[in-house]
Structure 1
Amino acid sequence: MTSRKWVNLFLTTLLWGGVITLVVSFFVQSEHYATALNPFSIWEVIILTLMYLGLGFIFSVISQMAFFAYLTVHQFGLGMFRKLWGPIQVVLIAFTLFDLVYFRYKSVSGEAGLATFFVLPAALLLFGWAVAYVKSRETNAKAFLPALFFMVVITSVELVPAFQADDPDWVMLMLPAVLFCNTYQLLILHRINEGQSKEEAIPEAGSTKPPQKKKKKRKKKSKR
């Protein structure tokens, strides 16, 4: 990937993260806006807008760091574990979903039933499955499992700060931005790489071999 395209991807993802967090904040943090609007204070509205926009930028940066880190981890896993890397990803996905249900239930004190903790993992799995299906349709079947792993496991890791805050509002504020940024990067990468030569492109998450240079064919001189 050229530096120009990388900067364009970074800025576009950054903008999406900020805008989505700002829009979601109207619903999740509506009481803050109600205070600023009654009585109306233009400065408070501007401060709230800049605050949630900046928060969205932070969520986007976290997503982008995790995405490029995963590309490295995926290639490392393929090189070290080879055919075992697929089953390992399945086990990690299952453990992450179990963690989102059981350990969150054990760490949260309250009257909430165990069934309520299945909502987030189930929604994350269904959304990740849909994104992975689109990724595999647009690239190849081998990209499905890595895409699902990224959407479930890596997204869960990115949400750890929101979980540690022990506030559902923080989860609801961070989750849409992180999910969208992860989805956008995952589905846009192969489109960016389509116009690149193999030695310049970033390896896809579903690829099993690093980019190889094209061999130049030498013309044989005809003997007379």
Structure 2
Amino acid sequence: MKSRNWVKLFLTTLLVGAISTSIVGFALKWSEYKPLFLNVDVIEILSILLWLIGVGFIFSIISQMGFFAYLTVHRFGLGIFRKLWNPVQLVIIAFVFFDLIYFRYQAFAADRGDSLISYITIALVIFIYCIVIALIKTKMTNKHAFVPALFFMYVISIIEWFPALRVNEASWLYLMIIPLLICNAYQLLILPKIANEKS
């Protein structure tokens, strides 16, 4: 792929990260920000927006680092495991799904009195979203793309989400994971189109 196409992917993913983080950020704390809009406090709104855009850029860069890391890991995996690479990825996906529920519950539920259901729900909703994106990727390419796409969307997204998982503060959890999932999906689905551009 030409360098100009890489730059295009980088810049458009930055934009996706900035927009998605801004929308999610205002939505998560709308009760706090609503008076600013009602009072038309332009300076305060712009300062919050600029902060969210900056955070979105960071999330986007984390997403892109994860994407390019996975492209490398995928090549190594194919070289080492060959036909067993897909089963290996499925095992890792199952392991990460279990860990996302079990270890988070063990680490945080006792202190906060949380229900196990809430931890299962978050892991399951993310997993369903990743399956949908993997199915779209499969329709765009071929059936062999499903497992790698699901692995990237789920496993890599959870790894990228780790800083917020350690904090385990609800607003930060959602503020980070939603843009990450959107950026990861964008890169996964748009890469073939950008890679094949000739101009």
Structure 1 length as normaliser, TM-score? 0.83
- Provide Cα deviations, 1:141-163, integer angstroms capped at 9, x if missing partner: 11110000001100100111111
Larger radius of gyration: 1
The aligned counterpart of 2:172 is: 170
Alignment RMSD: 1.6
The aligned counterpart of 1:27 is: 27
Whichever structure has more helix as a proportion of its residues is: 2
The aligned counterpart of 2:42 is: 42
Question: Do the aligned partners of residues 35 and 135 (structure 1) sit closer, same or farther apart at CA in structure 2, a change above 3 Å counting?
Answer: same
- The 3-state SS of whatever aligns with 2:24 is helix
Q: Percent identity?
A: 46
Aligned residue-pair number: 196
The aligned counterpart of 1:181 is: 183
Counterpart CA distance in 1 for 2:34 and 2:197 is: 48
| Structure 2 residue ranges without an equivalent (≥5) | none
Q: Is the 8 A contact 1:33 1:48 kept in 2?
A: no
Counterpart CA distance in 2 for 1:160 and 1:29 is: 22
Counterpart CA distance in 2 for 1:158 and 1:113 is: 25
The aligned counterpart of 1:7 is: 7
Q: Is the 8 A contact 1:18 1:52 kept in 2?
A: yes
Q: Is the 8 A contact 1:14 1:61 kept in 2?
A: yes
Q: Structure 1: which 4+ aligned runs deviate by more than 6 Å?
A: none
Question: Do the aligned partners of residues 46 and 193 (structure 1) sit closer, same or farther apart at CA in structure 2, a change above 3 Å counting?
Answer: closer
- The 3-state SS of whatever aligns with 2:113 is coil
Counterpart CA distance in 1 for 2:60 and 2:101 is: 25
Counterpart CA distance in 1 for 2:46 and 2:186 is: 28
The Cα of 1:85 is off from its aligned counterpart by: 1.3
Q: Output the amino acid matched with 1:189.
A: L
Counterpart CA distance in 1 for 2:196 and 2:26 is: 38
Q: Is the 8 A contact 2:59 2:179 kept in 1?
A: yes
- The 3-state SS of whatever aligns with 2:151 is helix
Counterpart CA distance in 2 for 1:111 and 1:130 is: 32
Question: Do the aligned partners of residues 3 and 25 (structure 1) sit closer, same or farther apart at CA in structure 2, a change above 3 Å counting?
Answer: same
Q: Output the amino acid matched with 2:135.
A: Y
Question: Do the aligned partners of residues 167 and 6 (structure 1) sit closer, same or farther apart at CA in structure 2, a change above 3 Å counting?
Answer: same
In the TM superposition, what are the counterparts of 1:84-163 in structure 2 within 5 Å? 84-108=84-108, 109-163=111-165
Q: Greater relative contact order (Cα 8 A, min sep 6): structure 1 or 2? A: 2
Q: Output the amino acid matched with 1:139.
A: T
Structure 2 length as normaliser, TM-score? 0.92
Q: Output the amino acid matched with 1:52.
A: L
The Cα of 1:43 is off from its aligned counterpart by: 2.2
